[in-house]
């Protein structure tokens, strides 16, 4: 797996135990993808291979620190499998053709195979975690899984709705993205045997990083370009997903308040045009500032606990890396 420079910095800062764990993670993911028949193995493997920077399992390893036992690898694998499952299922619901610049499973194999692939990845996540024999860890991942589903339901309910508020949008981000980041940090801390105050502080760190991640992802959907994001500019808007840049822009431009996405944004060219109108209001700058505030809150959560300097530095680099996605 090609590792992005920011992730390389986190790995280097986190300690010599992390690179072997990252390699073992990829090996285990490949083994799991290959073990369920040729068709599902091909599509499951392609989904995992397109998994990006492995940020969530990296958070597991960094939050665990050097004291973690062998179960930390199973935790990280479970988190990444759950994340991959949600991506496949999201693409089915959106009928998405591309994911990070690659054809999606639903585009290449159809809804049936894509749904089965997502189901497989989901079930394997919990099977992997069960081997640790810890009910508390299963509860954390189960809660995150339920939150992901609820976030998706909220997004579907809010589609094309001009009245979505900032508060409702943030609630959706909390469920759809932040809870899995939170779970990654919480699970890593639990596996290391950390005291309750450290578990809670690291969970709070993960939650805020997740919120910042989603806000900046929504900024990138509007700012583009496609060469960077792996999808057409304004893809979320074209799907009717109301995100923070549009919500803020509508408060500043009355014409945007009166815009009906169903009839006014029906193709990529119209989505691109709407992205330009949103950018012209200055909404992208304000949305980015909101994300930066969450990053600062995440770092502040680390001040509440005593952490080894190396571990703290690695976590801060994760926070900084979220911002660098936008820069």
Task: Please give the Cα distance from 306 to 62 (Å, whole number).
Answer: 15
Question: Helix or strand or coil: residue 225?
Answer: coil
For 105, 136, 168, 213, 245, the CA distances from 165, given in Å and listed in that order, are 33, 35, 5, 19, 12
Task: Please give the Cα distance from 113 to 182 (Å, whole number).
Answer: 30
Closest CA to 295 of 327, 248, 247, 251: 327
| pLDDT in single tens digits along all 327 residues of the chain | 334 446 677 777 777 888 899 999 989 988 887 777 677 777 777 777 666 678 899 999 999 998 777 899 999 999 999 999 998 888 888 777 777 777 888 888 788 888 888 888 899 999 999 999 999 999 999 999 999 999 999 999 999 998 899 999 999 999 999 999 999 999 999 999 999 999 999 999 999 999 999 999 999 999 977 666 667 789 899 989 999 999 999 999 999 988 999 999 999 999 999 999 999 999 999 999 999 999 999 999 999 899 998 999 999 998 988 877 665
Q: 152: which 2 tokens? A: 């998706």
Give the pLDDT score at 1: 38
Answer whether 221's CB lies under 8 Å from 237's CB. Answer: yes
Sign of CA dihedral 107, 108, 111, 113: negative
pTM metric for this prediction: 0.92
Task: Please give the Cα distance from 113 to 26 (Å, whole number).
Answer: 23
54 dihedral zone (left: phi>0; alpha: psi -120 to 50; beta): left
| Residues 16-53: tens digit of each pLDDT | 888 899 999 989 988 887 777 677 777 777 777 666 67
Give the pLDDT score at 5: 44
Q: How many CB atoms lie within 10 A of CB 98?
A: 16
Q: Count of alpha carbons within 13 Å of 151, Cβ hemisphere only? A: 23
Answer whether 131's CB lies under 8 Å from 81's CB. Answer: no
Answer whether 208's CB lies under 8 Å from 84's CB. Answer: no
Closest CA to 247 of 205, 219, 207, 206: 219
Total number of residues shown for the chain: 327
Task: Please give the Cα distance from 194 to 122 (Å, whole number).
Answer: 27
């Amino acid at each position: 797996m090609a590792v992005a420079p920011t992730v390389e910095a986190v790995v280097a800062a986190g300690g010599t135990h992390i690179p072997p764990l990252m390699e073992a993670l990829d090996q285990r993911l490949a083994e799991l993808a290959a073990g369920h028949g040729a068709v599902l193995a091909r599509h499951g493997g392609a989904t995992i291979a397109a998994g990006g920077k492995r940020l969530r399992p990296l958070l597991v390893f960094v939050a665990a620190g050097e004291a973690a036992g062998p179960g930390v690898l199973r935790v990280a694998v479970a988190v990444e499998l759950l994340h991959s499952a949600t991506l496949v299922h999201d693409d089915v619901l959106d009928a998405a053709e591309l994911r990070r610049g690659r054809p999606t499973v639903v585009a290449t194999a159809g809804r049936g195979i894509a749904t089965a692939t997502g189901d497989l990845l989901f079930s394997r996540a919990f099977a992997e975690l069960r081997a640790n024999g810890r009910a508390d860890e299963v509860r954390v991942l189960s809660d995150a899984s339920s939150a992901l589903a609820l976030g998706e339901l909220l997004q579907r309910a809010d589609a094309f709705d001009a009245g979505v508020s900032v508060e409702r949008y943030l609630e959706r981000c909390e469920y759809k993205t932040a809870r899995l980041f939170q779970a990654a940090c919480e699970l890593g801390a639990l596996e290391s045997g950390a005291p309750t105050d450290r578990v809670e502080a690291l969970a709070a760190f993960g939650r805020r990083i997740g919120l910042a991640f989603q806000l900046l992802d929504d900024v990138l959907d509007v700012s583009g370009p496609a060469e960077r994001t792996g999808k057409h500019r304004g893809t979320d808007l074209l799907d009717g997903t109301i995100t923070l840049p549009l919500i803020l822009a509508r408060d500043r431009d009355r014409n945007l308040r009166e815009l009906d996405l169903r009839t006014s944004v029906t193709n990529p060219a119209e989505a691109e045009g709407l992205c330009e109108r949103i950018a012209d209001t200055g909404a992208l700058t304000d949305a980015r500032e909101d994300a930066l505030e969450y990053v600062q809150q995440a770092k502040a959560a680390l001040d509440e606990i005593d952490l080894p300097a190396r571990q703290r530095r690695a976590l801060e680099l994760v926070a900084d890396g979220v911002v660098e996605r936008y820069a």
